[in-house]
């Protein structure tokens, strides 16, 4: 059974990156089902064979999902909370399964090779896509290698992790020729993919983690590590400079392999072994490299000799590191994340909460569904309690790793595991790598290898007697029940997704509505299902198919959406649109006003709220209810002034425009609607002021037409005529527009 589980999990590790790195939860489900099923099978076997105690050392892994389960109490994004729980149950079960299989030393010796094979194919796959030999969507984004992950920064980090792992594995003493060939032949491709990802963060962090790896090695191993790194880096830079020519890649790879073999043979002659006997040699290379590195930084920052030898595209990317906009924006994310955490500091806001609630807290109108900091994601999602639990558990794993590293005769494997995982975690301070299922499967694969001591045989454990108190059975029983529960719930969610996709394909509104009702019955947490169900119900209303029932259903859906995510301004906006389309304008305005309390930087939300308020004012004007007309006209004016003041505040902020990726502004339609509100209030002078503030960014013709119409309505014929003369570049179009306004209002 050990080999059966190992082969399936190994295949999963190699194949899963091609599902976009398991970033999207729907693609994660099928892999989770495999892990869940294997875990249940293992649990049954352990209970039957009375060997539960053999895996109790790995039970701590199930503390991870408990933190996400606890955060359900205050979850702001229910779908994200469920998906996070499914993921962490799968990661924990994955680790326990690996711990069981890696007890067998014969299996464990193949585990590093599976990790390396995963890296080889991911890297070569990217290279083949670049050559046009394979096709993969978004593998190249803005001339940057993004690979199967479809995100350049995480792809660059992954290439650095695989590269460092291979370099450290090559330092192993008494390494066989097949192993040398196996670990050295992809080095050049790893370097090329790393460079072509243009990940500025990894350009800075990779040398640091490389240096830490150097400190973990003995002096003779350090020499090999430095030389292997030099061969592959120089060859990789030449390949990049030669526009990734396949012939140059092949030549560079062969030269790197040859030099690697020669280096190992040279060191194995024993000429450098005297270095291992004196501690001074252990620090000589790191200190020397550090000095050279500092000189290199000075050279690059001053466009020196080394900098000038680099390929032009690499020079350009290095130059862009000095641009502070991206780094500053990520600092803003961190500040806002800490502010968010204050509202639920202990247990957090639930899995994937940031995307739903960050607009309520953001300082400036940036657009980002991720914090770009995996550790801040933990603080927001599972609170400070969960954060400290996670840090403690990973700290424990590193303690075990370092203990095994110190006790091992051959330290290269443990050093490779330590440095590869550190590379992933350090870069996750500035990016959202930890949102990828692939990354966690790789991390837990490495930890599972390092969790066992070198040379430890499973037979030693088999003779141990289980404890008298069956805590291990209780824990495994609870864990298995939790896995089964997640299996059932994830399966329901998958059925819901299938029903939703079928509904999107069907042309029959009645069939679509039935399928969507089925989808929300299986999974009532996903907003996209409710949105499409509402759209379908409104289409049926427009065709006079059960208008009363469907109107009530739309109103019910609108309330459900607001209840599901009570601090998600986008959900509230969509809820308001639903109410507006079925004619409930006062309710719509109230929903929009509440949404604006959650988000002060939404241009379209302001526009729609001003529109609804001005239309309500018009309706009450037509029915001669002056008091209500004045009230809603004033609401439109106040909203417009608030919108204008917020935009002005952003413009006056020294960094406001640089972080306005949401395009926050005053919409031209809002100006047109507020003119009508001014008209109803009899404030013609404010219309003139507003028209004088128009610029080339505004939709001039509609605004001028509205200005003429409102000025005429207020008896300001002279001002209206002057405005017409000023903008009559297209006299017929302007006249038609004014006629339309007279007729509609």
Q: Tell me the C-alpha distance between 314 and 192, whole Å.
A: 11
- Condensed to tens digits (0 to 9), the pLDDT of residues 592-649 reads 999 999 999 999 999 999 999 999 999 998 898 999 999 999 999 999 999 999 999 9
Backbone angles phi, psi at 141, to 5 degrees: -125, 115
Residue 428's SS3 state is coil
- 98, 417 contact by CB (below 8 A): no
632: tokens are: 């809603």
> Rounded to 5 degrees, what are φ and ψ at 364?
-135, 160
SS3 state at 245: coil
| CA–CA separation, 51 and 464 (whole Å) | 10
pLDDT of residue 462: 44
Where the chain has pLDDT below 70, the residues are 270-286, 297, 300, 311, 313-314, 316-324, 455-469, 695-699
Within 8 A by CB and 6+ apart from 281, the residues are 219, 275
pLDDT in tens, 496-532: 999 999 999 999 999 999 999 999 999 999 999 999 9
Nearest partner of 15 among 109, 114, 112, 137, judged by Cα: 114
Q: How far apart are CA 59 and CA 462, in angstroms?
A: 18
646: exposed, middle or buried (Cβ count in 10 Å: 0-12, 13-18, 19+): buried
CA proximity to 665, closest of 356, 365, 358: 365
* Strand ranges for 254-306 from DSSP E: none
Q: What is the predicted pLDDT for the residue at 460? A: 44
DSSP element (H, E) containing 577: helix 569-581
Single out the residue of 256, 365, 438, 249 nearest to residue 602, CA to CA. 365
């Amino acid at each position: 059974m050990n080999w059966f589980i190992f082969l399936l999990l190994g295949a999963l590790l190699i194949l899963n990156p091609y599902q976009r790195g398991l970033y999207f939860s729907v693609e994660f489900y099928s892999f989770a089902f495999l892990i869940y099923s294997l875990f249940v099978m293992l649990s049954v076997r352990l209970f039957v064979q009375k060997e539960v105690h053999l895996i109790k050392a790995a039970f701590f892994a199930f503390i991870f999902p408990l933190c996400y389960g606890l955060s359900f109490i205050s979850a702001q994004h229910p779908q994200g909370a469920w998906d996070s729980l499914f993921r962490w149950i799968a990661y924990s079960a994955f680790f326990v399964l690996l711990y069981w299989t890696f007890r067998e030393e014969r299996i464990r010796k193949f585990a590093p090779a599976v990790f390396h094979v995963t890296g080889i194919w991911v890297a070569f796959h990217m290279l083949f896509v670049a050559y046009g030999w394979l096709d993969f969507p978004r593998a190249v984004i803005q001339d940057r290698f993004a690979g199967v992950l479809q995100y350049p920064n995480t792809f660059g980090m992954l290439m650095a992790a695989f590269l460092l792992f291979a370099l450290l594995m090559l330092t192993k003493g008494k390494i066989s020729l097949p192993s040398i060939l196996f670990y050295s032949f992809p080095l050049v491709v790893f370097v090329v993919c790393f460079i072509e990802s243009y990940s500025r963060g990894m350009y800075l962090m990779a040398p640091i983690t490389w240096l830490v790896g150097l400190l973990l090695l003995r002096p003779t191993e350090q020499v090999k590590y430095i030389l292997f790194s030099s061969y592959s880096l120089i060859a990789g830079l030449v390949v990049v400079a030669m526009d990734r020519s396949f012939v140059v890649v092949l030549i560079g790879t062969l030269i790197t392999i040859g030099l690697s073999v020669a280096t190992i043979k040279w060191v194995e002659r024993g000429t450098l072994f005297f270095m291992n006997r004196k501690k001074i040699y252990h620090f000589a290379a790191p200190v020397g490299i550090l000095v050279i590195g500092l000189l290199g930084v000075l050279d690059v920052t001053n466009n020196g000799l080394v900098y000038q030898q680099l390929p032009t595209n690499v020079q350009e990317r290095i130059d862009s590191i000095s641009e502070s906009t991206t780094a500053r924006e990520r600092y803003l994310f961190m500040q806002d994340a800490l502010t968010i955490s204050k509202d639920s500091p202990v247990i957090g806001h639930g899995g994937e909460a940031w995307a739903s609630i960050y607009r309520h807290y953001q300082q400036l109108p940036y657009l980002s569904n991720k914090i770009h900091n995996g550790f801040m994601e933990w603080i927001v999602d599972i609170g400070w309690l969960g954060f400290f639990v996670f840090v403690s558990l990973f700290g424990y794993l590193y303690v075990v790793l370092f203990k095994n590293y110190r006790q091992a005769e051959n330290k290269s494997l443990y050093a490779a595991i330590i440095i590869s995982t550190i590379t992933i975690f350090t870069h996750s301070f500035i990016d959202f790598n930890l949102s990828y299922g692939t990354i966690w499967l790789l991390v837990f694969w490495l930890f599972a290898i390092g969790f066992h001591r070198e040379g430890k045989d499973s037979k030693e454990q088999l003779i141990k007697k289980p404890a008298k108190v069956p805590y291990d059975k209780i824990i495994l029983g609870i864990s298995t029940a939790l896995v089964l529960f997640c299996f059932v719930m994830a399966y329901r969610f998958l059925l819901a997704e299938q029903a939703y996709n079928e509904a999107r394909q069907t042309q029959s509104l009645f069939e679509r509505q039935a399928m969507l009702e089925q989808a929300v019955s299986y999974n009532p947490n996903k907003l996209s299902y409710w949105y499409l169900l509402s759209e379908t119900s409104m289409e049926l209303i427009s065709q006079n198919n059960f208008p009363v029932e469907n109107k009530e259903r739309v109103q019910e859906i609108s309330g459900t959406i607001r209840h599901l995510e009570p601090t998600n301004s986008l959900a509230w906006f969509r809820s308001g649109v639903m109410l507006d389309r079925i004619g409930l304008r006062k309710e719509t305005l109230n929903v929009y006003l509440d949404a604006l309390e959650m988000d002060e930087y939404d241009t379209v939300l302001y526009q729609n709220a001003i529109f609804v308020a001005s239309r309500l004012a018009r309706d009450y004007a037509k029915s001669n209810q002056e008091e209500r007309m004045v009230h809603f006209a004033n609401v439109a004016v106040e909203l417009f002034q608030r919108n204008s003041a917020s935009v002005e505040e952003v413009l006056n902020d020294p960094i406001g425009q640089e972080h306005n990726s949401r395009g926050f502004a005053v919409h031209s339609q809002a100006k047109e609607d507020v003119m009508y509100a001014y008209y109803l209030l009899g404030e013609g002078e404010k219309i003139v002021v507003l028209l004088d503030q128009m610029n080339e960014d505004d939709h001039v013709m509609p605004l001028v037409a509205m200005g003429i119409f409102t000025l005429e309505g207020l008896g300001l014929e002279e001002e209206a005529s002057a405005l017409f003369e000023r903008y009559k570049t297209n006299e017929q179009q302007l006249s038609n527009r004014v006629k339309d306004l007279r007729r509609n209002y």
